[in-house]
Amino acid sequence: MKGTRGHVHLEQGTQVSPSSCCFMPAVLCLQTVVDDWLETYKQDRETGFLELVNFIIRSCGCRGMVTLKMFRHLQNSEIIQQLTEKFEEDSAEYPLSLGTQPWRRFRAAFCELVAAVVRRCQYSVVYDEFLMDALISLLTGLSDSQVRAFRHTSTLAAMKLMTALVNVALGVSLHQENNQRQYETERSKGPGRRATDKLEALREKHRELQEQQEEIENMMNAIFKGIFVHRYRDVVPEIRAICMEELGTWMKSYTASFLTDGYLKYIGWTLHDKQREVRLQCVKALQGLYCHRDTAAHMELFTSRFKTRMVSMVLDKEPDVAVEVVKLLTLMLENTEEVLTEEDCQNVYPVVYVSSRVLASAAGLFLYRRLLDPQREAGREPSRDGDNRIFFRLLLAFFIESELHEHAAYLVDSLWDCAGPRLRDWETISALLLEESPTKGLADRQEKALVEILAASVVQAAEGQPPVGRSLAKKPSARERKAQAEERIRLTHCLIPALPQLLAKFSADAEKAAPLLEVLRCFDLSIYCTGRLEKHLELVLGQLQEVVEKHTGQAVLEAASRALHALCNPELALHGRGDLVRSRLADQLADKFHQEVTELLQASSLDEEEVYSMAATLKRISILFNAHDLTPWQLFKPCTQLLQRALDTGEVPPQVVVPAITCLHFHILWELSRLPSTDVPQEQLQSLKTRVTSFCSLCQSCLSDVDAGIREQVRRGWGDMEGVSGQVLRPSLCPQAFMVLSDLLLVFGPQLPRDGREALAPLVLLPDAGLQSQLAAFLMDHVFHHACSHEELLAMGTSPLRIPEVSPGMPVPPLSPPVSTEDSENHIEELHQRRVLLAGFCKLIIYGVLELSAASDVFKHYAKVGGTQEACPASPATAWGHQALSPPPQFYSDYGDIIKETLNCTRQIDRQEWARTLLLSLQQLMTELLLQQGPEIRTAEAFLEIRDLARRFSLLFSLQQLRNRPALLSMHKEGIQFAFQEPPGPGLPPLNLPFLEVLSEFSPRLLRPDKALLLAYLEKMHQEQRWLAPQDVPWPSLVTYRNSLQPQEEGGSVNSRSTAPRPPPGSAAKRPRIDAPSEHPDSSPWPSSRLPSPALTSTMLRGGPRPPLTWPPTRDPGSDPGLLQSSSLSHRRSGVNRLSLMVEEEEEEMMIEEESSEEDTPEQDRTLLAPEDQLRDLFDSTILGIEDPSPHRTSERGTLAAQSSSVPVYCCYKSKSGGDWLPGPCCLAMVNK
C-alpha cells in the first residue's frame, strides 16, 4: 500500500477508501456490516472467515489475499510467508502508521469492528470451535511476522479481541452469579414448594455457563500467552504501548481475574521503558486502578515493589509522563492508607517550581491534598475565614521551611487551579498582615512571605499571565476574560482601603514595600474616582513619595517608579495628583543634585558621606528617568560635568559615575522621543546631535581612559557601599559605559531615518574604525577573557572546581569544595551581565552598525571549550584532599545560544561576507596557535579544537547547497591562498599549510563540480609557488585536503585515504541525513548520482550478500567522505571529548532541522545487527531482554540515511573487550524521497 493513495479491501472486488473506512460507524452502519457478515458466515463459515481475514490483511497495507485453496491446504506459517512475498510495499507507510485524521478515524473504526464482531457473536458463534480458534491462530502467526505492518496490525486486532472477550467473560461471570443465586433460592424452599424441573434447568444452565467460561478463558490464555507475552517487549514502541493500554483495561474491567501480581508485574517492568508513549500508557493504566479504594487495596504488593520507581518518575524527562505520574501519586495519596511516606512526598514538592505549568499545577494539587487542605482530616463544611487562615499559615510554613525557591509567584501559579478561591481571599490576607497581636500575629519572615504571596496572587488574578518562564496552556476564552475583569474590580475594591495601611506598616522594609507597590499597578485605577476614594489615593501617593525618599534599593525604587507611572496616566481622571507628586519628587531630587554637584566640583577632596549622598540621589533620579521624562529639570549639563571630572581626575568613584551615565542616556532618549517625525527644527537636531556626540565620546573614554585602579576594582568586584536599608551598591563603570554606548549606536544607527523619519538623518551616528576596535577589545577583555581567569573566579567567591552533572536516578558524587549560595548568586549575576554585553555587541553587527567582519572575534569562541588549558592557571586545593581542577572557559555553555542566533541572523544578511567572517575566525585562531606553539601544531589539542570548530561551522552549510555554493567556493579559494604563504625556508612547507586540514572540514558541503574546480586550483597554486615536498615525505595536510576534494566513483573509493587526525567517527554519524540539499535534485547543473531508493518496508533482509567487514573501512562511493575517519584521533582524545562531539553534532543538527522548512524526509527503522544475527528478524522481540524492552539495538549514531547512493554504510560499535570503537556493519538505510 502506498501511503494515503492506497485502499483497504473488505472483500475481493470491493475497495473502500480511507475516508469511507473512517466513517464506517456513521456512514456504512457498522452494525449492519457485521450483521451481513454474520449471515455470510452462518451460510458458509469458511467464506465468512476468509472475508474477515482478508479485511485484516488489507488493513495491514498488503495487496495479497488468502484464498480458499490456501486456507485448506497450507499452514498458517506458509500462508504468512506467501503474503510476505506478495506484500509489494513501495514505502514505509501502512495504515496504522499514518497520522492523518482520516487514518486515525480508520484505526478507531477498525478497533470498533473487531469489538462489534465479538459482541454480535458472543452467544453462539464464539463457541463454535472454529471462528475464534482459527482467528487467534492466524493473529498469533501474524504477530510474530518479520513485517512490521503485519505485526502491528495483528497485535492491535488481538488486543482488541482480547478486550472484547474480557467483556464477554465478565458477562458470563455475572450470569453465573445470577444463576447460582436463583439455584440457592429455589433449593432453600420446602419440599412441597420446590420445583424439581426448575432446579434441573438451573443446574444445566450452570454447567453450560461454566463450559462457556472455560472456553472464554482458554481463548484469553491463548491470546495472552501467544501474543501479549511476546509483543509487550516488541521493538516497536507503538506495539508495546498497545499492550500496556489494553492490559490496564482488562485489569480495570475484570479485576477478579486480572488484578493479580501475575499480570501487574508486566506494568511494573514496563515502567522502565525508554519510550515516552509506553511509560505513559503504563502510568495511565495504573491511574485506572488507583482511582478506586477497593482496587487500590488489592495492590499492596505491587505498590511496595514499584513505589520507588513511580516516585522517581516525577522527574521523567518527558513532561507529559511526569504530569501523569504526579496525578497517579495524588490518587495513591487519596485512596491508600499511608502508602506514601514523607520522604516520598519530599520528592514531589519541588516540582511546583518547574517551568512546565501543567506539571507544576499537578504537583500543586498533590501539595494541596497532602499539606494545605484544611479539610483533609475533618469532614465538616468549610468555614471561609477560619479555614483560609489555616490555609495561609500552612502555606507560609511550607514556603519558608522548605527553602526550595525564593519566588512566591511560581508557588501561587502552581496552586492557582486547585486553591484559587483561597488565594483570592484578599480580606483574610490583609487581616493577617495588619494583625498586631504578639500571639496571633506573624513573624517577620512570615510577613515578608505573605506579602509576596499577596502580590503574586493579585498579579495572577488581574493579568491572568503565569510567571516568567511559564507559558499558558491555552488562550483564555471570552468568558474567562470577562471573569478576569470582574475579579480585578473586586480585588481593587477590597485592597484600596487596605493598601495605605499596609504601606504605612511596611514602608520602612524595602523587601515588603516593593511587592505592595506592584499591587497598586494591578488595580482598576478608575475606581479611585468613580468610587469616591480620593482620600485613599492621597494616602497612597504620600506613602509612595516616602518610599522614594527613604530607600535606595534598586527593586523598591523601580517598583515605586512603575506605580507612579501608572498613577500619572493621562487617561485617568485623577492623573493630575500623580503629576503633582512626580513634580515634587523631581524638584527635590534635582535641587539636591545641583547643589551636590556644585560642591563636588569645587571641593579638593571628597567626603565619604557626600559621596554616598550624591550616589543615592543620582540612583533615584536614574531610576525615575527610566519611566518619567525629567528633561525639563536640566540634568544633562551637571551629569556631563560630573563624568568629565571623573575622566580627568579619576577622583569621582564609580558608584557616582554609573548612575550619571544612566541619566545622560535616558536624557538623550527622551529628547529623541519628543522630536517630531517631520519638520524638525534644525536647532533641536543640532543640539541633540552635539549631545549625542559628546556623550558617546565620554563613554568611549570610559572604556580606555579610566584610572587603572578603578578598572581593576571594577573587574575584581568593585567597591561596595552599604546603603541605609542594607542594600549593597555594586557599581560597574566600564560595562555600563559599554552597554549605554552600544544602545546609543543602535538607536542612532542606519535604520533611524527609515519608515518616514527621513528628517532625522543628520542624527545617524556611525562608529569609526578606532571605536569598532575598541568595542571588540573591550568584549575580549570583559566577556571572553573573564571566564578563564582563575584569580577572578576566586575574587568572585566562585570555586574553580566544576560540579559534575548528575543524571536523574544516579547517586550524587561528592562535591569539592562547596560553593555558598551567595557566591553562586554573584556568579550567576555576573554571567548575566557578560551575556548582556555580548548581546549588545552582536546586535550592533546584526543591525549593520558594525561591519560583519567584526563578528570574527565572537564566532571563534563558538566551541565547547574556548582557549587552552594553560590559559587558566590552577592552584592546589590540598585542604579538600582533591587535586585542584582548572577548567577552561566554558564559552559555549555560557554564550552558545547568543552566538548561534548571531550566526543565523548574519547568514541571512550576506552569505558571501558571512562565509568570509567564518574563515577569518579560523585564520585568527590558526595564527594565534602558530605564534604560541610554532609550526608543529598538527598533533596539538588546540589544533584539533580548531578543526572541531570548523566542523561546527560546516554544519551551517548543510542546507540550501545551491545558495551556499558561491560562499563555499570563495571560502575554499581564500583558504588555499592563506595556506600557501611564504615558507620559512627552501624545501619546507608553508607555515599555514595545516590550515588545509581545517579547510577540509568544509569539503563535504561542496558540490561535485566545485570539488574538481578547487582541486585544479589547488594543484595550480602548488605548482606556481614551486614549493615541492620531497618525493618520499609528502605533506600530510596537503594530502588530506586533496583527498577531501577527490571525485568519487559509484562503487569505488577515493584514491588515497587521509592520514591526518579526524574527529571521532561517532561525531559524524548523522551527516548524511542533513547533507542533502533542500533544492530539487533536478536543479543541480550536473547529473545526479542519487540512485533510486528501493522500496523496503518490511524488516526482512532482501537478497544480495552483505559486503565483507574490513578494517580499516574503505569509503563508500557517493557518501560523505567525513563519514569514515581514521582512528588516530581516538588515541589522542579522551572519551569525554568524544562524547562531547556527539552532543555538539546533535545540537547543531537540531538547529539546522528547525531552520529548514523544505526538508521532510521520512526515515525508516534501522537496527544494528551482530554478524550472527544478520538473517534474523530485525524487529524480533527475542532480540530484546526483558529488563530493557526499548529498541536499544537501534543506535542513533548508526541511523544513517543513504543520500547519493544505496550502498551499505558503516557505523561504530564498542568492542566486547572494552577497547576502542570499531566499525560495524549497519543495515541498509533507505529513504523514499
The 10s digit of each residue's pLDDT in 695-730 is 999 998 888 754 443 444 444 433 343 333 333 333
Q: pLDDT band at 1002, cuts 50/70/90?
A: very high
| Cα pseudo-dihedral 537, 542, 547, 550, rounded to 10 | 180
Phi, psi for residue 11 in degrees, rounded to 5: -155, 170
Which residue in the block uniquely carries the three cell numbers 544478520? 1174
Instruction: State the Cα–Cα distance between residues 531 and 529, nearest whole angstrom.
Output: 5
Q: What is the DSSP letter of 1188?
A: B
pLDDT over threshold 60, residue 1164: no
Nearest Cα residue to 978 out of 1021, 1026, 1013, 948: 1021
Cell (9 digits) for 1167: 537496527
The mean per-residue pLDDT over the stretch 659-678 comes to: 92
Q: pLDDT band at 986, cuts 50/70/90?
A: low
The mean per-residue pLDDT over the stretch 758-775 comes to: 90
Q: CB–CB of 852/845 below 8 Å?
A: yes
pLDDT at 163 (0 to 100): 94
Q: In 410-474, where do the E strands start and end?
A: none
Q: Return the minimum-mean-pLDDT range out of 518-522, 758-762, 890-894, 990-994.
A: 890-894
Q: pLDDT band at 652, cuts 50/70/90?
A: confident
Count the neighbouring beta carbons within 10 Å of the beta carbon of residue 299. Answer: 21
The 10s digit of each residue's pLDDT in 48-65 is 999 999 999 999 988 888
pLDDT at 937 (0 to 100): 86
Assign residue 717 a region (left: φ > 0; alpha: ψ between -120 and 50; beta: otherwise).
left
Q: pLDDT band at 90, cuts 50/70/90?
A: low
Share of the chain above pLDDT 70, in %: 72
Q: Return the minimum-mean-pLDDT range out of 306-315, 1093-1102, 1186-1195.
A: 1093-1102
Q: What is the DSSP letter of 855?
A: G
The mean per-residue pLDDT over the stretch 271-287 comes to: 95
Overall pTM surpassing 0.85 (yes/no): no
Mean pLDDT for the chain overall:
76
pLDDT at 995 (0 to 100): 92
Instruction: State the Cα–Cα distance between residues 326 and 311, nearest whole angstrom.
Output: 8
The 10s digit of each residue's pLDDT in 905-961 is 999 999 999 999 999 999 999 999 999 888 888 888 889 999 999 999 999 998 888
Q: pLDDT band at 692, cuts 50/70/90?
A: very high
The mean per-residue pLDDT over the stretch 392-420 comes to: 90
Between the CA of residue 958 and those of 433, 803, 961, 1006, what are the distances in Å?
Answer: 61, 35, 7, 9
Cell (9 digits) for 693: 556626540
The 10s digit of each residue's pLDDT in 506-526 is 999 999 999 999 999 999 999
Instruction: State the Cα–Cα distance between residues 749 and 555, nearest whole angstrom.
Output: 32
Instruction: State the Cα–Cα distance between residues 703 and 435, nearest whole angstrom.
Output: 53
Instruction: State the Cα–Cα distance between residues 280 and 235, nearest whole angstrom.
Output: 17
Phi, psi for residue 147 in degrees, rounded to 5: -85, 125
pLDDT over threshold 80, residue 533: yes
Q: pLDDT band at 1194, cuts 50/70/90?
A: very low
Beta-carbon contacts of 923 under 8 Å, excluding residues fewer than 6 positions away, are 978, 995
Q: What is the DSSP letter of 372?
A: I
Q: pLDDT band at 890, cuts 50/70/90?
A: low
More reliable by pLDDT, 434 or 384: 434
Between the CA of residue 92 and those of 1, 60, 96, what are the distances in Å?
Answer: 9, 12, 11
Q: pLDDT band at 1108, cuts 50/70/90?
A: very low
The 10s digit of each residue's pLDDT in 1109-1135 is 333 333 333 333 332 233 333 333 333
Supply the angle between the helices 961-979 and 911-933 in degrees, to the nearest 10: 30
pLDDT at 1059 (0 to 100): 38
Q: What is the DSSP letter of 784?
A: I
Q: CB–CB of 111/164 below 8 Å?
A: no
pLDDT at 545 (0 to 100): 93
pLDDT at 829 (0 to 100): 85
pLDDT at 1129 (0 to 100): 32
Instruction: State the Cα–Cα distance between residues 578 and 565, nearest whole angstrom.
Output: 8
Residue 779: exposure state from Cβ atoms within 10 A (0-12, 13-18, ≥19): buried
pLDDT over threshold 50, residue 816: no
Round to the nearest angstrom and report the end-to-end CA distance of the chain: 16
The 10s digit of each residue's pLDDT in 549-585 is 999 999 999 999 999 999 999 998 888 999 999 999 9
pLDDT over threshold 60, residue 1079: no
Q: pLDDT band at 1090, cuts 50/70/90?
A: very low
Instruction: State the Cα–Cα distance between residues 359 and 31, nearest whole angstrom.
Output: 42
Instruction: State the Cα–Cα distance between residues 633 and 670, nearest whole angstrom.
Output: 12
Q: CB–CB of 773/695 below 8 Å?
A: no
More reliable by pLDDT, 442 or 590: 590
The 10s digit of each residue's pLDDT in 618-636 is 999 999 999 999 999 999 9
The mean per-residue pLDDT over the stretch 364-377 comes to: 86
Which stretch of DSSP H or E encloses residue 738? helix 733-747
More reliable by pLDDT, 829 or 1089: 829
The mean per-residue pLDDT over the stretch 144-153 comes to: 91
pLDDT over threshold 90, residue 465: no
Which stretch of DSSP H or E encloses residue 1221? strand 1221-1225
Please give the angle made by the CA atoms of 512, 515 and 516, to the nearest 5 degrees.
85
List beta partners, residue 728.
722
Instruction: State the Cα–Cα distance between residues 588 and 449, nearest whole angstrom.
Output: 34
pLDDT at 341 (0 to 100): 92
> How long a stretch of residues is the chain?
1233
pLDDT at 818 (0 to 100): 46
The mean per-residue pLDDT over the stretch 748-772 comes to: 89
pLDDT at 516 (0 to 100): 95
pLDDT over threshold 60, residue 807: no
| Cα pseudo-dihedral 641, 646, 652, 655, rounded to 10 | 90
Cell (9 digits) for 213: 467460561
Which residue in the block uniquely carries the three cell numbers 521551611? 401
Beta-carbon contacts of 173 under 8 Å, excluding residues fewer than 6 positions away, are 213, 254, 256
Count the neighbouring beta carbons within 10 Å of the beta carbon of residue 442. Answer: 18
pLDDT at 381 (0 to 100): 52
Nearest Cα residue to 283 out of 311, 258, 253: 311
